[in-house]
Structure 1
Amino acid sequence: MAVIFTKRQRRRPSVPLFKHPQPSSSFAAVAATEGIPRISCINSNATEQLLADRRSANYMPSVWDYNFVQSLGADYAEERHIERVQRLKEEVKDTLERENDLLAKLELIDAIQRLGLQYHFDNEIKKALQVIQNHSNDSWLFNDLHSTALRFRLLRQHGYDVSQDVFGSFTDKMGGFKESLVEDGKGLLSLYEASFHGLKGESSVDEANAFTCKHLNLLNLKGGIISSCMNRKISHALELPIHWRPNRLEARWFMDIYREDPNMNPTLLEMAKLDFNVLQSIYQKEVGELARWWLELGINETGFSRDRLVEHYTWSAMMVHEPQYGFFRVLLTKITSMITLIDDVYDVFGTLEELKLLTEFVEWTSFLALYNTTNNVGLEVLKARDFNPIPYIWRMWVNECKIHLKEAEWYHKGYNPALEEYLPSSVISNGGPMMLFCCFLMTTHELTHEAVNYVSKTPSVMYTSSLILRLNNDLGTSPDEMLRGDSPKAVECYMNESGASREAAVEHVKDVIWENWKTMNEQAFGDCPFPGMEAFIEACLNLPRASHSFYRYRDGHGVPDCETKDFIMSFLIQPAPIN
């Protein structure tokens, strides 16, 4: 088997921001370097014949011109912008501390969070929510749907134990929500958003979700009854709730809506826009450096694997967006690029015999690119954290490749697993546990063998996070993968075992996602036995959030030329307008 990769000469064509799809060039194979098993080279004619004899996913080339990516200006990286953010921060902090009206305090906290500024005010928000929690018996909480639901959502988001019984005054004797609430668009929307913070077995919260979904859709259809601003808020929420959205994407959208809020705080809005642009400049510098690494590595020339460096970086930044975690974003982008490479080799390119051989190679050595990238990541973690994670990372690579091989054998045998058999394997093969393990290594300040052993074994919060990623992935990619003859995904597994239609199977998978989000809501505050894992736990929430964005309409990773390109433009390329 000749599948290791060489560093290519960097090319600098003069092309626009987005590249038009072109036929991918063939890949090159070279002998392994010293210390890595030698694998014979193949010449270009043999390469072309090898490619011609294999399956192809026909992945479109990258839509990004890497010369443009390397040239991103980082216009807001200047110190004066950072200093301005700090001055505005002090003004907002003072406003939050001085606000005595509890509903106004709740709404200010909500705006701060939705504008992407929570990391600036963590301590102030904690103090404010404790004050609100201490006023749990105030009558205003039980008379107004909006304030009750907003309080429920924010307190639950920050780990407070809030009973679903707070909604009791809005329900009838049968436990259903009162029909008199249907004209209260603001209250319905707040209740809808609160319902996504429910736990398993909470019937009132489930009822709140069903009730608000029905009536918010009806309100939107009625047109003139609600304002155009409220209409946009409702449409946005019904598409995806706040709790399931990546923070930076929500921040960019919410800036425009917040301008129309009659209680808009201009200082807060200015800070949000400037802070967004400052962070974007940091991201631009990081992704530019990664583009140089990617071109030198040469995997973008393989011809069979997805060339998705910018998408991988965006995913990493969605998982941990705070400025101090650039180390994490850069290294995780490299790991994620390897995850995609391995996935494409097993799913599309390799023959079964080659995949068996490859799995053995990974078990005792590896691909040149995978070997070098993994060791470089491990050395960076060693320097930054004084802990050598390389044996743990390799163990996870071996496990992932073995699962890939198992799935390849299913495909070649024509075996259709039941959903319950498919999911435990596919959760590993999608790369989620590897991404989250690397996140733990790169964001936890003090690494101990006990903590690393614990996280390397995929605790429940990691598993649930990766499961939601897998299910979202399958919903988005299944139609295209079935057309090219891939192995069954979650939808097909359920159809095969139950006899359900595709439509019914899709709805079943969506229900499984919903139930696992309820599990995540509980695990996020109960599955952290070691100190200093806050950023890791938040990443466990953010991984499925990113998957909702990438796979909401279709395979936004494999076919990133529409919705994915649009949200990456707003996230990474286009600054928020300062006016």
Structure 2
Amino acid sequence: MYRWWKRIQLDEKLSFAWARLIECFYWSVGYNFGPEFGYARRVLTAINAFITTIDDIYDFEWDGESTLKELELLTKLTKRWDTTELDQLPDYTKICFTDFYNEINEWTYLFDAFLEEGMWYHSGYKPSLAEYLDKAWLSISGHVLLTHLYFVHQNSMNDQDFKSLMTYSKILRLLATILRLADDMETSSYEMERGDNPKSIKCYMNDNGVSEEEAKEHIKISFSVYLYGDGHGAPSSYDKERLLFLFVNPIPL
């Protein structure tokens, strides 16, 4: 995975993007911990690394209306899967789209959700919790990861399985919503400080006029990656030690 990451050089081409390869690998190990799932771990690590970078592009500090138009064009090109207007994109979005085009087929719903959240930020709009979750269960990218996970584990697929994946069944949406709320429990304050979009905590605070602690009590869930903070976006020394213990340091005999 490290050789693949160095080959595409996304973190070097896009200086504002987070280099979170080992954290992405940690997620994939959680999904596929068996020794026979090495290929699945590689696929999901690559997917998660792309998702993290794409999310950073939509969250990147904007310079007004021009940046919004660039992101709208990026979303349109992704949905059309079209390279004919690529020259209209600035370098940072052109790099993202080109690498994405070369590696992965279609994530249009994810790009749509990222753009909608970006437009909220640009306009200063404060969504209700219900509005936020209607997009946020997509922008957390659980549907993308689970769909790829299904294909790397299955040798065949029947019509019912395919229909369930393509229509995003209720169970898939609920699982993605739980993941989003777990993420927001620890990342909300940090991301709001850097000027990101309102998260579920802030939306609930705005809806009900309550404190942050009261909102967190309402939306409380624990998850391994966020047990001691934002282990993916802003890893603490504990998170780094845990990753070293799991993947780098030799097992004591």
Q: Does 1:356 align with 2:72?
A: yes
The Cα of 1:454 is off from its aligned counterpart by 1.4
For 1:105-124, list aligned pairs within 5 A.
Answer: none
- Report the equivalent of 1:319: 31
**Pair 1:563–1:457, CA change in 2 (3 A):** farther
- Report the equivalent of 2:249: 574
Q: Does 1:346 align with 2:58?
A: yes
The Cα of 1:461 is off from its aligned counterpart by 2.5
Q: Indicate conservation of the 8 Å contact 1:407/1:487, yes or no.
A: yes
- Report the equivalent of 1:373: 103
Counterpart of 2:98, as a letter, is L
Separation in 2 of the partners of 1:564 and 1:465? 24
The Cα of 1:462 is off from its aligned counterpart by 1.9
Structure 2's unaligned 5+ residue stretches are 83-96
The Cα of 1:472 is off from its aligned counterpart by 1.4
The Cα of 1:550 is off from its aligned counterpart by 1.7
The Cα of 1:464 is off from its aligned counterpart by 2.0
- Report the equivalent of 2:173: 463
Counterpart of 2:134, as a letter, is P
Q: Does 1:553 align with 2:228?
A: yes
Counterpart of 2:131, as a letter, is E
State the Cα deviation string for residues 192-246 of structure 1 (Å, max 9, x = none).
xxxxxxxxxxxxxxxxxxxxxxxxxxxxxxxxxxxxxxxxxxxxxxxxxxxxxxx
The Cα of 1:316 is off from its aligned counterpart by 0.4
Out of 562, 573, 578, the position equivalent to 2:237 is 562
- Report the equivalent of 2:87: none
For 1:21-420, list aligned pairs within 5 A.
Answer: 290-301=1-12, 302-349=14-61, 351-365=67-81, 367-374=97-104, 390=105, 394=106, 397-420=107-130
Q: Indicate conservation of the 8 Å contact 1:312/1:333, yes or no.
A: yes
Q: Indicate conservation of the 8 Å contact 1:304/1:344, yes or no.
A: yes
Separation in 1 of the partners of 2:166 and 2:51? 17
In structure 1, the residue corresponding to 2:69 is in which secondary structure?
helix
Out of 149, 168, 172, the position equivalent to 1:439 is 149
Separation in 1 of the partners of 2:164 and 2:171? 12
Structure 1's unaligned 5+ residue stretches are 1-289, 375-389, 514-546
Q: Indicate conservation of the 8 Å contact 1:472/1:552, yes or no.
A: no
- Report the equivalent of 2:86: none
The Cα of 1:325 is off from its aligned counterpart by 1.1
In structure 1, the residue corresponding to 2:116 is in which secondary structure?
helix
Separation in 1 of the partners of 2:225 and 2:238? 8
**Pair 1:326–1:445, CA change in 2 (3 A):** same
Counterpart of 2:226, as a letter, is Y
Q: Does 1:503 align with 2:178?
A: no
Separation in 2 of the partners of 1:495 and 1:489? 10
Counterpart of 1:438, as a letter, is H
State the Cα deviation string for residues 535-561 of structure 1 (Å, max 9, x = none).
xxxxxxxxxxxx812222222111124
The Cα of 1:349 is off from its aligned counterpart by 4.7
State the Cα deviation string for residues 124-178 of structure 1 (Å, max 9, x = none).
xxxxxxxxxxxxxxxxxxxxxxxxxxxxxxxxxxxxxxxxxxxxxxxxxxxxxxx
The Cα of 1:475 is off from its aligned counterpart by 1.2
Separation in 2 of the partners of 1:489 and 1:349? 17
The Cα of 1:313 is off from its aligned counterpart by 0.9
Counterpart of 1:555, as a letter, is D
**Pair 1:567–1:306, CA change in 2 (3 A):** same
Counterpart of 1:406, as a letter, is E
Separation in 1 of the partners of 2:21 and 2:131? 32
Q: Indicate conservation of the 8 Å contact 1:304/1:349, yes or no.
A: no
For 1:448-459, list aligned pairs within 5 A.
Answer: 448-459=158-169
Separation in 2 of the partners of 1:372 and 1:452? 24
State the Cα deviation string for residues 43-99 of structure 1 (Å, max 9, x = none).
xxxxxxxxxxxxxxxxxxxxxxxxxxxxxxxxxxxxxxxxxxxxxxxxxxxxxxxxx
Separation in 2 of the partners of 1:441 and 1:493? 35
State the Cα deviation string for residues 341-370 of structure 1 (Å, max 9, x = none).
111111125621111011011112261111
Separation in 1 of the partners of 2:159 and 2:58? 32
Counterpart of 1:371, as a letter, is Y
Counterpart of 1:565, as a letter, is K
In structure 2, the residue corresponding to 1:356 is in which secondary structure?
helix
Q: Indicate conservation of the 8 Å contact 1:427/1:463, yes or no.
A: yes
TM-score, normalized by length of structure 2? 0.87
Q: Indicate conservation of the 8 Å contact 1:312/1:337, yes or no.
A: yes
**Pair 1:449–1:349, CA change in 2 (3 A):** farther
Q: Indicate conservation of the 8 Å contact 2:133/2:177, yes or no.
A: yes
State the Cα deviation string for residues 313-354 of structure 1 (Å, max 9, x = none).
111011111111111111111111111111111112562111
Counterpart of 1:307, as a letter, is A
Separation in 1 of the partners of 2:69 and 2:15? 21
